[in-house]
Amino acid sequence: MKKIGLLAVMVVLIGVLSIGSAHAFNQADLDRLRTTGSCVSCDLSQAYLIRANLVGANLSQANLSEAYLTGANLTGANLRGTYLYRANLRDANLSGGATLSQTNLREAYLGGANLTGAYMYQAYMEGTNLSGTNLSEAYMGGAYLYRANLTGANLSGANLSGATWTDGSKCKEGSIGQCLK
């Protein structure tokens, strides 16, 4: 019985490891990002970019799903249309006009991130954790914030006109307080 149990555990573990590696990032894409600061439409899913210096990087249309960008410096980066599903951007710096328009941030973690002045037009943030995030002066027009966690977020001067909230209501310009009820 013990041999069968151990064999079953080994088979499951090998299967899990195989599945995990099937979605890993493309090394050539990661090398291109490191050497040029640009990786348009590339695959960096599950990449470890912890505390990476990506100031002004062009990552538009890239796949960064489940990537680790904890503490990364993305000041002024172009993330337009980027897929950041379940990405970890805890304490990342996305200030200085970083562009996240039409970006998929579904279930991403941005706790403590700095998004001061970020451009987030029509960003998709269903289930996104924005707790403790600095969103001051961010433009979030037309953003989709269903089930987003904004506990302790700084929204001073943020523009949320046309954003959709959990109850399906839309924000009107200058009515941030009403949107967060």
pTM equals: 0.81
Note the pLDDT of residue 167. 61
130: confidence class by pLDDT, cuts 50, 70, 90:
very high
If one counts the domains in the chain, the total is: 1
Note the pLDDT of residue 23. 55
- The mean of the pLDDT values for the chain is 85
Instruction: Evaluate if residue 80 carries a pLDDT over 80.
Output: yes
The answer to whether residue 120 sits within a structural domain is yes
126: confidence class by pLDDT, cuts 50, 70, 90:
very high
- What CATH number is given to the structural domain containing 48? 2.160.20.80
The domain of 179 spans 40-181
The answer to whether residue 135 sits within a structural domain is yes
For residue range 131-178, list pLDDT tens digits in order: 999 999 999 999 999 999 999 999 999 999 999 976 666 665 544 554
The answer to whether residue 5 sits within a structural domain is no
Note the pLDDT of residue 62. 98
Residue type, 53: N
Mean pLDDT of 38-60: 97
The answer to whether residue 2 sits within a structural domain is no
**Within 10 A of 30 (CB to CB), how many other CB atoms are there?**
17
Decide: 106 and 129 in contact? Cβ < 8 Å: no
| C-alpha to C-alpha distance for 124 and 135, rounded to whole angstroms | 15
* Tokens standing for residue 52: 């990476």
The answer to whether residue 8 sits within a structural domain is no
For residue range 96-120, list pLDDT tens digits in order: 999 999 999 999 999 999 999 999 9
The answer to whether residue 7 sits within a structural domain is no
Positive or negative, the CA dihedral 20, 21, 22, 23 is positive
The answer to whether residue 19 sits within a structural domain is no
Note the pLDDT of residue 172. 58
The answer to whether residue 124 sits within a structural domain is yes
Residue 95 has phi, psi (to 5 degrees) of -90, -170
